[in-house]
Amino acid sequence: MHLSDIQIQVRDMARDFATQTIRPMAEALDHEERFPRDLYTEMGALGLFGIGVPEDMGGPGFDTVTYALVMEELSRGYASVADQCGLIELISTLLVRHGTEAQRAAYLSDIMQAKTLVAYCITEPEAGTDVSGIRTEAVRDGDGWVLNGGKIWIHNAPVADIAFVLARTDRDAGNRGMSIFIVDLHADGIERGPKEHKMGQRASQVGALNFNDVRLPADALLGTEGRGFHMMMSVLDKGRVGIAALAVGIGQAGLEAALDYAQQRKQFKQQIAEFQGVQWLLADMAKDIEAARLLVHSAASKIDRGENATKACSIAKCFSGDMAVARSADAVQVFGGSGYIRGFEVERLYRDAKITQIYEGTNQIQRMIIARELIKHGAAA
């Protein structure tokens, strides 16, 4: 795909930062399960967050293809760090599209600079894939609201300052009875659960948030009451492109590590890269990574052209997630026993890849969406 000069410039800036700063610290962050707050402050100052925020709202105003390029490069450095970029992009997009001028003025700049850490709260113990099952509820109280309920597996929950919370505001209205609230996580009635210990992407902090009679002012409501489910869905295409690009970055890092190792490691008095069995592993990795990258760029371009991108985004997310899991396993294979040992990058990449098949809609759900779109619009590309 042809990239513009500015897209190449931004990609190369993200690539340099990921190579020089992020990748060298990835193993330690993973091992220690450490949240790199200072790194995020630095990335915010460099303009690596809130990539799609328009210039008149204080952002760089880059398109979705540029966002995907940045996500891939950051993830090539460390997927857990790219995840923070994806979360900030999702929240910024919500604020740009649905926030009032006052809400944007209050939050956008500090979110983009990672001075204010954010969380996006949908999942509950009884409501994972089926979001319509959420029980968290906001009830009107004078001018404002009172929020009660609980969310689980929320990215940034242990450290976030504010949360965008999907809550029921009308028990009888189904998906039209949900709204999104901007909640101050330092307010009374907020209870944070302990940090979860994850298989991969271990620099990201994930945990539970409980809301016990949390009083919210009237201006905590984002957009229109009852439109929360719709607003959440409206940013999913972009979210899926972001995770797909993150998965490509994991695949690319695995290929680079495997190619390097295959040219160093000798068995039977020759480089293992000279064995056809190893060459085919490398070739399969390269072809699937390139295919995934093209799917990501194609889906992102559709969003940028204002076309219906739902099928393209689900295809990109599903293919790239499956690719990252399969091909990072190949990278482990090229390393032999070393690939199974902590401290070798490919061992971490294999663990980091798995979640890309689960969050932002599982890959079963992506297949369901692809089939639904096919039945609705036909098989034409």
**Least distance to ligand FAD, CB of residue 129, Å:** 3
The encoded tokens of residue 137 equal 């509820």
Nearest residue to 121 via CA among 95, 93, 74, 157: 157
By beta-carbon proximity to ligand FAD, the closer residue of 206 and 281 is: 206
By beta-carbon proximity to ligand FAD, the closer residue of 67 and 153 is: 153
How far is it, in rounded angstroms, from Cα 264 to Cα 274? 11
360 labelled catalytic: yes
By beta-carbon proximity to ligand FAD, the closer residue of 42 and 196 is: 196
**Tokens 């990501």 found at:** 296
- Selecting among 89, 345, 347, 360, the annotated active-site residue is 360
**Tokens 């500015």 found at:** 6
**Tokens 């700063």 found at:** 21
**Least distance to ligand FAD, CB of residue 362, Å:** 3
How far is it, in rounded angstroms, from Cα 82 to Cα 252? 14
**Least distance to ligand FAD, CB of residue 355, Å:** 5
Binding site for ligand FAD (CB under 6 A): 120-123, 128-129, 153-155, 198, 206, 355, 358-359, 362, 364-365, 368
User: 367 to each of 11, 298, 305, 354, how far by Cα in Å?
Assistant: 30, 18, 24, 17
What number of H helices and E strands is found in the chain?
12, 10
**Least distance to ligand FAD, CB of residue 121, Å:** 5
**Least distance to ligand FAD, CB of residue 199, Å:** 9
Spatial contact of 178 and 331, defined as CB atoms under 8 Å apart: no
**Least distance to ligand FAD, CB of residue 305, Å:** 28
Crossing angle between the packed helical segments 236-264 and 79-98, to the nearest 10 degrees:
160
By beta-carbon proximity to ligand FAD, the closer residue of 244 and 257 is: 244
**Tokens 């460099």 found at:** 46
**Least distance to ligand FAD, CB of residue 3, Å:** 30
By beta-carbon proximity to ligand FAD, the closer residue of 11 and 198 is: 198
How far is it, in rounded angstroms, from Cα 275 to Cα 268? 10
How far is it, in rounded angstroms, from Cα 140 to Cα 132? 21
User: 99 to each of 84, 96, 146, how far by Cα in Å?
Assistant: 21, 6, 20
The encoded tokens of residue 13 equal 């800036």
By beta-carbon proximity to ligand FAD, the closer residue of 120 and 229 is: 120
DSSP of 238-284, one letter per residue?
Answer: HHHHHHHHHHHHHHHHHHHHHHHHHHH-EETTEEGGGSHHHHHHHHH
Residue 362, Cβ density class (10 Å: 0-12 exposed, 13-18 middle, ≥19 buried): middle
By beta-carbon proximity to ligand FAD, the closer residue of 339 and 361 is: 361
The catalytic residues are 360
